Amino acid sequence: MPDIGKFRALVVDRGADKKQFVEVRELTLDDLMEGDVVVRVSHSTVNYKDGLAITGKLPVVRRFPMIPGIDLVGEVVSSESPAFNSGDTVILNGWGVGEGHYGAYAEYARVKADWLILKPKEIPAADTMAIGTAGYTAMLSVMALEHHGITPKSGPVVVTGAAGGVGSVAVSLLKKLGFDVIAVTGRAAEADYLKGLGAAEIVDREELVNPAKLLDKERWAAAIDTVGSNVLANVIAMTKAEGVVAACGNAGGMGLSTSVAPFILRGVSLIGINSVYQPRAAREEAWSRLVRDLDRDKLEAMMTTIGFDQICETAEKIVDGQVRGRVVVEIG
CA distance 7 to 25: 8
Q: 44, 51, 50: which is closest to 71 by C-alpha?
A: 44
pTM: 0.91
Environment class of 78 (CB within 10 Å of its CB; exposed 0-12, middle 13-18, buried 19+): middle
49 backbone dihedrals φ, ψ, rounded to 5°:
-65, -40
Termini Cα distance of the chain: 19
> What does the pLDDT read at residue 58?
84
CA distance 236 to 225: 10
Q: Which CATH superfamily is domain 7-119+302-330 in?
A: Medium-chain alcohol dehydrogenases, catalytic domain (3.90.180.10)
Cβ neighbours of residue 95 closer than 8 Å, sequence gap 6 or more: 101, 111, 112, 115, 276, 277
CA angle 222, 224, 226 (to 5 degrees): 150
Sorted by where each begins, the domain ranges of the chain are: 7-119+302-330, 133-272
CA distance 172 to 174: 6
> What does the pLDDT read at residue 136?
94
Q: 67, 61, 74: which is closest to 116 by C-alpha?
A: 74
Query: Which residues share a beta bridge with 261?
Result: none
Query: Which residues share a beta bridge with 243?
Result: none
Cβ neighbours of residue 59 closer than 8 Å, sequence gap 6 or more: none
Instruction: Count Cβ atoms below 10 Å from residue 322 Cβ, excluding itself.
Output: 10
Q: 52, 98, 49: which is closest to 72 by C-alpha?
A: 98
CA angle 53, 204, 140 (to 5 degrees): 50
Chosen CATH of 133-272 out of 3.40.50.2300, 3.40.190.10, 3.30.9.40, 3.40.50.720: 3.40.50.720
3-state SS class at 204: strand
Q: 90, 112, 91: which is closest to 101 by C-alpha?
A: 112
- Hey, do 7-119+302-330 and 133-272 end up sharing a CATH topology, with the first three levels equal? no
Q: What is the 3-state secondary structure (H, E, C) of 20-64?
A: EEEEEEEECHHHCCCCCEEEEEEEEECCHHHHHHHHCCCCCCCCC
CB 76 within 8 A of CB 129: no
Environment class of 310 (CB within 10 Å of its CB; exposed 0-12, middle 13-18, buried 19+): middle
CB 245 within 8 A of CB 141: no
CB 70 within 8 A of CB 49: yes
Residue spans of the chain under pLDDT 50: none
